[in-house]
Amino acid sequence: MLPQRDTCTLVDLLDRLLEKGLVLRADLIITIAGVPLIGLNLVATLAEMETMLKYGIFEGLDKTTREWALEHNQGIPFMEGEKALDKAYGSYRFDRGKKTAWKYGYIYVTDRRIFSWDKGLRRFLFEFRPEEVKAVKMEKRLYNEKERDELCIQFQDETSLFLHVERIRDFKKSIETVLSSFEV
């Protein structure tokens, strides 16, 4: 067997070139935390996250990311002065002409809007303002061959949102409270 050196062995060389070889004393060499600037682009693409962290490239970035996440994960993105009236974990489904699947999340009712927020992904699952709502009513519907109460929120544009939560009657009251404060 003869040793191979061709294009498909290039990657074997990369590990050597980027992580091995003679490295100079720190005060003589210009690099960012051990990785020369010149190679940054490539290293960033090829190296695993671990290696990057070992070199410290991402430490700054990572710290900022974590701080951001901490700050934003802690709370829900309430607007300044916005007051939460109710919160429930439940499922929701939109009806916009075609049926969509039930999804789960925390649903918040505030004095300004109703929304669901995904903490993990830090994004709104849905969000609407009282002005957009035409009517709220309780409906008996079938779910897994059993009848249950679902809260149907009809919007001005004729689409609907169905909610199912544990204390569905209380939740309906909370929503109605917000809606009524806007009707005045």
Q: Which residues bind another protein (CB under 8 A)?
A: 1-5, 8-25, 28-31, 35-42, 45-46, 51
With beta carbons less than 8 A apart as the criterion, state whether 154 and 134 touch. Answer: yes
Beta-bridge partners for 163 = 92, 151
Distance from C-alpha of 179 to C-alpha of 157, rounded to nearest angstrom: 17
> Shortest Cβ distance from residue 39 to another protein (Å)?
4
**Using CA atoms in the order 123, 126, 128, 132, what is the torsion angle rounded to 10 degrees?**
150
3-state secondary structure of 88: strand
Minimum Å gap between C-beta 59 and another protein is 19
In the numeric block, the tokens 């009517």 are attached to 135
Is the Cβ of residue 5 or residue 167 nearer to another protein in the bound state? 5
Q: Which is nearer to another protein, 51 or 154 (CB)?
A: 51
Task: Output 20 or 83, the one with its CB closest to another protein.
Answer: 20
What is the rounded CA–CA span in Å between residue 59 and residue 155?
Answer: 47
Least distance to another protein from the beta carbon of 61, Å? Answer: 16
Query: To the nearest whole angstrom, how small is the minimum distance from the Cβ of residue 20 to another protein?
Result: 4
Give strand pairing partners of 107. Answer: 88, 116
Kindly tell me which of 36 and 56 has the beta carbon lying closer to another protein. 36
CA 159 distance to own-chain centroid: 25
Closest approach of another protein to the CB of residue 107, in Å: 42
Residue with Cβ nearer another protein (14 or 136): 14
CB–CB of 171/163 below 8 Å?
yes
